């Protein structure tokens, strides 16, 4: 059995195993730290910064940093909450998040965080980007204007022969996710479903499945994101 360590989150005494990421350690103790780019089974990338916490006073990303003995972590403070809300708002205005017209609405992690932080209006100006929509795959639709560049899809190898279906192209504010058209042509139903479920927003969609779940029964209709973790406190 690995070594148990103790630490605090917002003054609460917590225990976890040495080597746990702060997000995982917090989860074990019933504390929800919001994440977007983090996904179970994938190596942390720390691209979205929404999991920002302060460890002994220094800001860091809780998905990539591991917890150590005796550290004091700040998570749900007014300052950190404001930083997270700002990050969420920034991602929201950088894309075209027309929620009423999006297939992922109600089950979208970005939208759920907007709800959690009660974003009535983003503090930043909308950018209204115009990026190309890729509908070439028979099974997948890629709406790049909704992509938050979390790279979950790039980090996971969806195809079985070791080739990656998704890759990053271009740089700076022109950065986009590209889909390998040859691999995309032969995707199975399960692989297409897996790709859609990997995406925290409505950028990767499985065709012919939009709006299947009625309003009221979607993932975040009734309970805020993270409430399942917080109920274990």
Residue 224 binding other proteins, by CB under 8 A: yes
Considering the complex, what minimum distance in angstroms separates the CB of residue 214 from other proteins? 12
- Pick the closest to residue 34 from 146, 145, 200, 203 (CA basis): 200
Residue 233 binding other proteins, by CB under 8 A: no
Q: What sign results for the dihedral spanned by CA atoms 110, 112, 118, 120?
A: positive
Q: Is 4 helix (H, G, I), strand (E, B) or coil?
A: strand
How many amino acids of this chain bind other proteins (CB under 8 A)?
Answer: 25
Q: Is 176 helix (H, G, I), strand (E, B) or coil?
A: strand
CB closer to other proteins, 61 vs 107: 107
- Pick the closest to residue 231 from 22, 10, 23, 32 (CA basis): 32
Residue 223 binding other proteins, by CB under 8 A: yes
CB closer to other proteins, 85 vs 139: 85
Residue 118 binding other proteins, by CB under 8 A: yes
List CB contacts of 159: < 8 A, sequence separation 6 or more.
165, 183, 187, 191
- Contact region for other proteins (CB under 8 A) — 39-47, 49-57, 127-135, 155-163? 127-135
Binder to other proteins among 129, 159, 178, 229 (CB under 8 A)? Answer: 129
> How many CB atoms neighbour CB 168 within 10 A?
13
Using CB under 8 A as the binding rule, the residues of this chain from 186 to 215 that contact other proteins are 215
Residue 99 binding other proteins, by CB under 8 A: yes
Considering the complex, what minimum distance in angstroms separates the CB of residue 62 from other proteins? 24
Kindly state the tokens that stand for 203: 């950028």
> For the chain, how big is the Rg over CA atoms in Å?
18
Name the site residues for other proteins (rule: CB under 8 A). 96, 98-102, 105-106, 111, 114-115, 118-122, 125-126, 128-130, 215, 222-224
């Amino acid at each position: 059995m690995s070594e148990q360590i103790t630490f605090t989150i917002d003054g609460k005494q917590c225990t976890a195993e040495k080597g746990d990421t702060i997000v995982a350690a917090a989860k074990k103790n019933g504390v929800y730290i919001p994440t977007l780019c983090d996904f179970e089974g994938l190596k942390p990338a720390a691209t979205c910064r929404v999991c920002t916490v302060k460890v002994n006073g220094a800001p860091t990303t809780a998905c990539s940093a591991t917890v150590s003995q005796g550290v004091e972590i700040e998570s749900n403070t007014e300052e950190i909450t404001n930083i997270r809300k700002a990050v969420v708002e920034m991602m929201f205005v950088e894309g075209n998040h027309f929620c009423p017209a999006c297939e992922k609405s109600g089950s979208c992690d970005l939208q759920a965080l907007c709800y959690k932080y009660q974003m009535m209006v983003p503090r930043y100006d909308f950018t209204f980007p115009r990026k190309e929509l890729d509908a070439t795959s028979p099974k997948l639709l890629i709406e790049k204007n909704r992509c938050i560049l979390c790279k979950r899809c790039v980090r996971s190898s969806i195809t079985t022969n070791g080739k990656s279906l998704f890759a990053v192209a271009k740089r700076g504010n022109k950065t986009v996710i590209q889909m390998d058209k040859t691999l995309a042509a032969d995707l199975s139903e399960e692989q297409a479903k897996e790709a859609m479920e990997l995406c925290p927003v409505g950028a990767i969609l499985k065709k012919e499945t939009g709006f299947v779940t009625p309003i009221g029964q979607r993932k975040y209709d009734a309970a805020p994101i993270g409430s399942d973790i917080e109920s274990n406190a």
